[in-house]
């Protein structure tokens, strides 16, 4: 006798449940699982905790602990030893499989894409009944309309099999929490593990309401990274849909040039509200970039760069870099400036690694570096980057003071047209 019973959600919904006396007590409308994460890969998140039961004219939620599902020759029977009504808090902290999962779009975390759920596979073991996987294949649809078995039998005569397409529950992130009262930040916790580019693709495929809800649940750092990766139309939707203070907090975590690109696409009133809500320092950087015409180098430069004085030693610079933990693009090229911010040289990480710890930057830097003026035409950037094989080009003003740098990533992005970000034309 096996202690494991597997069945599908479609097979239990609409079934009558019977009491210990053999009388029907109601019809099953939905199953409830725990939706509040308590830990990574915690099985309790998959436990069926309740059942939505229609008893006469009423629909109530009862504990699933007293229900038993028995399968004999693919036919299911459901019995209940005692009806124990669930408290409202337990219901609110749960996820309804029919209402929030079945026929809904979910995120396949492993495949990093949106998929549609055709059925849910469940398993009963001594510890309880658990949701173990979602069915996203054709067989799930055929099962729902009751023709899976005959179709499979006919196809088998021709040696054809319907491939099974299941996603394990641990690799699933539900999206539709519109009918729940649980905190979204907890509900979407699994999405935090995805790369920002993958998350951006998923948000762009979602409806406007769902994409806003998911974005709102991300922490500020992740939200900033994702907003950078979104297409312009999706960026504008997010920025216009959320409260000004929420958007401002996210924009403060982004490079000033990326923020300027986004704000340049907004109505002037909305852009000004956001600039006023941002911290003074961040806001001022963005305002300065917005003053440049679209065809000037200053409009595409980033002001996130790292510079040092010529008398700093290699050991001191490495120590400071460890403390600052800069973004990868900030390390493409490092700069040496005078006290008045005049650019006098550049160096890279290789220069630091091969140099002696007590050597000074003035000894290892490349003097008279290739640079661009902030009022120079943007069309000149690609030629400079290509000719000198640079990852980043310093941008200076007419007084040769360092203003920022143009990163090769942005140049390539413009040339191949993968994403048109705001003012980059």
CA–CA dist 310, 336 (Å, integer)? 6
When divided into structural domains, the chain yields a total of: 3
C-alpha 228, offset from chain centre: 12
CB within 8 Å of 272: residues ≥ 6 apart: none
Question: pLDDT grade, residue 3 (50/70/90)?
Answer: low
Do both 85 and 113 map to the same domain? yes
- Tell me the pLDDT tens digit for each residue of 363-418: 999 998 999 999 999 888 888 988 888 889 999 999 999 999 999 877 666 554 54
Pairing between β-strand 343-347 and β-strand 366-367 as defined by DSSP bridges: antiparallel
- Is residue 259 included in any domain, yes or no? yes
For the cut 60, the answer to whether the pLDDT of residue 149 exceeds it is yes
- Tell me the pLDDT tens digit for each residue of 255-266: 999 999 999 999
Partners of residue 122 on adjacent β-strands? 7, 131
Do both 125 and 21 map to the same domain? yes
Q: Residue 391 belongs to a domain with what CATH number?
A: 3.10.580.10
- Is residue 328 included in any domain, yes or no? yes
pLDDT at 46: 83
Q: Using CA of residue 181, residue 185, residue 186, residue 189, what is the dihedral sign?
A: positive
- Is residue 116 included in any domain, yes or no? yes
Do both 284 and 386 map to the same domain? no
CA–CA dist 170, 42 (Å, integer)? 9
Phi/psi at 363 (5° precision):
-90, -25
CA–CA dist 123, 43 (Å, integer)? 12
Do both 150 and 18 map to the same domain? yes
- Is residue 190 included in any domain, yes or no? no
Domain with 158, as residue range(s), is 5-172
CA–CA dist 417, 130 (Å, integer)? 47
Q: What is the mean pLDDT of the chain?
A: 86
Q: Which residue has the tokens 């949106």?
A: 114
- Is residue 421 included in any domain, yes or no? no
- Is residue 96 included in any domain, yes or no? yes
- Is residue 177 included in any domain, yes or no? no
Give the CB-side neighbour count of residue 65, counting CA atoms within 13 A. 5
Do both 157 and 55 map to the same domain? yes
- Tell me the pLDDT tens digit for each residue of 15-42: 999 998 889 999 999 999 986 554 445 5
pLDDT at 422: 43
Do both 261 and 359 map to the same domain? no
Of the ranges 152-161, 169-178, 333-342, the best mean pLDDT one: 333-342
- Is residue 69 included in any domain, yes or no? yes
């Amino acid at each position: 006798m096996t202690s494991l019973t597997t069945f599908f959600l479609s097979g239990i919904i609409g079934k009558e449940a019977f009491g210990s006396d053999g009388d029907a007590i109601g019809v099953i409308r939905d199953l409830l699982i725990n939706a509040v994460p308590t830990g990574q890969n915690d099985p309790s998140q998959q436990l069926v905790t309740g059942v939505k039961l229609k008893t006469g004219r009423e629909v109530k939620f009862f504990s699933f602990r007293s229900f038993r599902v028995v399968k004999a020759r693919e036919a299911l029977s459901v019995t209940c030893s005692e009806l124990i009504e669930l408290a409202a808090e337990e219901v609110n902290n749960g996820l309804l499989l029919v209402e929030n999962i079945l026929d809904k779009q979910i995120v396949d975390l492993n495949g990093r894409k949106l998929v549609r759920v055709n059925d849910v596979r469940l398993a009963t073991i001594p510890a309880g009944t658990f949701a173990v996987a979602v069915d996203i294949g054709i067989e799930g649809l055929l099962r729902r309309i009751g023709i899976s078995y005959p179709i499979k039998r006919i196809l088998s005569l021709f040696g054809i099999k319907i491939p099974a397409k299941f996603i394990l529950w641990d690799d699933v992130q539900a999206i539709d929490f519109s009918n729940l009262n649980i905190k979204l930040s907890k509900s979407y916790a699994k999405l935090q593990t995805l790369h920002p580019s993958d998350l951006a693709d998923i948000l762009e495929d979602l409806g406007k309401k769902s994409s806003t809800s998911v974005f709102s649940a991300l922490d500020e750092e992740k939200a900033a990274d994702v907003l950078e990766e979104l297409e312009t139309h999706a960026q504008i939707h997010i920025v216009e849909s959320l409260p000004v203070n929420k958007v401002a907090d996210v924009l403060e975590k982004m490079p000033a040039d990326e923020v300027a690109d986004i704000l340049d696409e907004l109505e002037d009133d909305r852009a000004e509200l956001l600039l006023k809500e941002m911290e003074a320092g961040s806001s001022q950087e963005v305002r300065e970039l917005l003053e440049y015409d679209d065809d000037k180098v200053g409009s595409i430069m980033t002001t996130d760069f790292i510079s040092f004085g010529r008398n700093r030693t290699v050991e001191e610079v490495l120590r400071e870099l460890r403390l600052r933990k800069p973004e990868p693009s900030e390390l493409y090229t490092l700069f040496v400036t005078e006290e008045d911010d005049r650019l006098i040289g550049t160096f890279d990480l290789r220069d630091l690694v091969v140099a002696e710890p007590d050597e000074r930057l003035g000894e290892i830097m490349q003097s008279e570096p290739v640079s661009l003026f902030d009022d120079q035409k943007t069309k000149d950037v690609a030629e400079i980057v290509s000719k000198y094989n640079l990852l980043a080009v310093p941008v200076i003003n007419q007084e040769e003071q360092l203003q920022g740098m143009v990163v090769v990533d942005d140049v390539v992005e413009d040339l191949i047209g993968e994403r048109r970000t705001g003012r980059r034309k």
